Amino acid sequence: MNTSANANLFSRLFDRLDDPKRLAIETHDGERITYGDLIARAGQFANVLVERGVKPGDRVAVQVEKSVANLVLYLATVRAGAVYLPLNTAYTLNELDYFITDAEPSLVVCDPAKADGIRTIAAKVGAKVDTLDSHGKGSLTEAASKASPAFETVPRGNDDLAAILYTSGTTGRSKGAMLSHDNLASNSLTLVDYWRFTDKDVLIHALPIYHTHGLFVASNVTLFARASMIFLPKLDPDLIIKLMARATVLMGVPTFYTRLLQNPALSRETTKHMRLFVSGSAPLLADTHREWFARTGHAVLERYGMTETNMNTSNPYDGERVPGAVGFPLPGVSARVTDPETGKVLPPDTIGMIEVKGPNVFKGYWRMPEKTKSEFRDDGFFITGDLGKIDDKGYVHIVGRGKDLVISGGFNVYPKEIESEIDAMPGVVESAVIGVPHADFGEGVTAVVVKHPEAKVDEASVLKGLEGRLAKFKMPKRVFVVNELPRNTMGKVQKNILREQYKDIYNKA
C-alpha cells in the first residue's frame, strides 16, 4: 500500500524524483525527453483536460497511434484524477460506438482522420473530441503548448480508478475492467523488484500502448525504476537488433520473437549487451523458447497476466525458466487451480481453472455488478477463465481458455462477435470461430462456415463481407466451408473437435 499522502499513481511515480535531468524517453528519430520534461508536459496536458471540463473520475477515451504525446496523455489523465480508457487503434467506428456509449467519457481523443465519425458517436454521450496524430500533433498538443506546466496532482485513494481497459469475453460484448491506482502501482513495483530493474536499464519499447503489456508493464515499470526507454512506433526487427547494442531489456509478444528469429543478424554477439527478454500476452511456443536460447544464449522470461489483473505469475529471474510454463505467482499474489464446476482446489499437476488473488486484481467490470460478482469466489479469488495446472515445483502452466477465447498476436479475440457477423451474411447457415496454433501469432483466427446448399459462399466472399466490419486482428486468417458442424448430444458445437481437425493448417509450408 502507498505510504505517501497521495495514492495517485502519478504522485507515486514522480514525487520523489531525484534528478529531473535524468533521461526518460528517447524516440526512434532522436528526440530525448528527461523526467523533468515528462512531468512538465503531463502538467500542460492535465491543464488542458481540466479546461475541457474533465473532472476527477471522468473517463478519457483515447484511440490514437503510438507517440510520446499519447504516453503523456495517459500520465496527464491519471494526474488529473480522471480514468484513462485506451482503445485499440484497429477498432472500426462500428466497434467504437459500443465502447464510447458504454463508458460515457467526457472527452474522446482520436486520430484527425477519424474525428468526424467519432464526433457523431461522442455527441450521443455529450463528450468533447480532441485530436492527436501519429506524430503527436493535433488539437490537444496545440492547446497544451500554450498551457502552464504547473499542475497540482489531484489526490486519489488506493481504490480510486486510474484506468478502464475493455477486455474480450466469449459471449456478448467486451467488458470494461476497472483498475485502481493501487492495482497499477503495486504490480509495477513488484515487477521492478522481481525482474531486477535499475536506473541503468534501457528498455526497447516496441509494444502498442493501448493494452496492459505496453502501457502498464513496459511504461510504468521503466518509470518506477528511473530507467529509460527507446520508444518505437512498432515492431521493426532490423532496428531492434541494432538497438540491442545499447539497450538492456526487450518486452514483446511471441510474434516479436518469431520475427526476430527470422532475422539472420540475431546472434549471441548482437544480444550480448541485453540482460532480459520478456514475453507475454499470448503463449510462447516451447519451440520458440528453445530456438531463442540456441541462437542467443538467453532464455526468454515468460510471464502471465490479464487485462483484469496485470501480471499474476513470472518465470524466475534467477533459476530455471521452463519452456511452456509461465512461472510462479508473483510476491503478494496467490494462485490456485480449482474444479471449474465445484470450485474445489485441485492437487498439483491436475488441470482445472486458474484463480488468482492479490493487490493486482481489478475492482470489477464497469457497470456490470452481476458479472463482477459471478467472476469472484466468496474468499476473493478471481476466476480467470484460463485452464491450467500448477506442477509439483510450483510452476504454473496454461493449457487454454475455458471459454474458447482466441489470443492472436497478443490480442484477445472473442469468437462470438465474428460468428455474429458471418452468420448475418446471405447464404450462411451458421459458423464457428476457433483459434489454432500459429507460429507467428500464437493462435490463428479460423472460421468454419456452413452454407445453404444452393448458396455461393466461399472463403473469398466471407472475407470480403467482413472487411470494414472488424478490426484487422480479428479477421479470420482462413475460412473453411463445410456441410455441418460437429455437435454433442445437447446440440452444442464441439469446438474442441474443430480445433483438433484444423490444428496443423498453419504449419504447412
**What pLDDT is stored for residue 167 in this prediction?**
85
**What pLDDT is stored for residue 342 in this prediction?**
87
Question: Which residue matches cell numbers 471540463?
Answer: 53
Alpha carbons 387 and 370: distance in angstroms, whole number: 23
Residue 485: CB atoms within 10 A of its CB come to 18
Longest Cα pair distance anywhere in the chain, in angstroms? 73
Residues ≥6 apart with Cβ < 8 Å to 92? 468, 469, 470, 471
Minimal CA–CA distance to 232: which of 196, 256, 263, 265?
256
Q: Which tens digits make up the pLDDT trace of 331-341? A: 999 999 999 87
**What pLDDT is stored for residue 492 in this prediction?**
66
Please give the grid coordinates belonging to residue 284.
510462447
Ordered alpha helix ranges (H), 163-311: 181-194, 212, 221-224, 237-243, 254-261, 286-296
Ordered alpha helix ranges (H), 66-126: 68-79, 93-103, 115-124
Alpha carbons 283 and 298: distance in angstroms, whole number: 18
Computed on alpha carbons and rounded to an integer, the radius of gyration of the chain in Å comes to 23
**What pLDDT is stored for residue 171 in this prediction?**
46
**What pLDDT is stored for residue 387 in this prediction?**
84
Alpha carbons 441 and 382: distance in angstroms, whole number: 27
**What pLDDT is stored for residue 433 in this prediction?**
94
Question: Which residue matches cell numbers 540482460?
Answer: 275
Q: How far is CA 368 from CA 106, 175, 176, 272, 416, in A?
A: 20, 8, 9, 49, 19
Q: Decide: 147 and 125 in contact? Cβ < 8 Å.
A: no
β-pairing, 175-180 vs 161-167, is antiparallel
Question: Which residue matches cell numbers 483498475?
Answer: 179
CB < 8 Å & 24+ apart, contacts of 363-370:
363/159, 363/161, 363/178, 363/179, 363/180, 363/183, 364/178, 365/175, 365/176, 365/177, 365/178, 366/102, 366/103, 366/164, 366/175, 366/176, 366/177, 366/178, 367/102, 367/176, 368/175, 368/176
Phi-psi region of 191 (alpha: psi -120 to 50; beta: other; left: phi over 0): alpha
Instruction: Please name every residue paired with 111 in a beta bridge, in sequence order, or none if there are none.
Output: none
Question: Which residue matches cell numbers 457497470?
Answer: 367
**What pLDDT is stored for residue 399 in this prediction?**
77
**What pLDDT is stored for residue 227 in this prediction?**
98
Q: How far is CA 451 from CA 50, 494, 495, 500, in A?
A: 54, 18, 18, 22
* Backbone CA torsion sign across 379, 172, 57, 18: positive
Q: Which helix (H) or strand (E) holds 2?
A: none
Using CA atoms in the order 187, 192, 195, 196, what is the torsion angle rounded to 10 degrees? -160
Residues of the chain with pLDDT under 50: 1-4, 169-171, 509
Helix/strand/coil for 41: helix
Kindly report the backbone phi and psi dihedral angles of residue 220, in degrees, each rounded to the nearest multiple of 5, phi listed first.
-65, -40
**What pLDDT is stored for residue 2 in this prediction?**
42
**What pLDDT is stored for residue 18 in this prediction?**
95
**What pLDDT is stored for residue 254 in this prediction?**
86
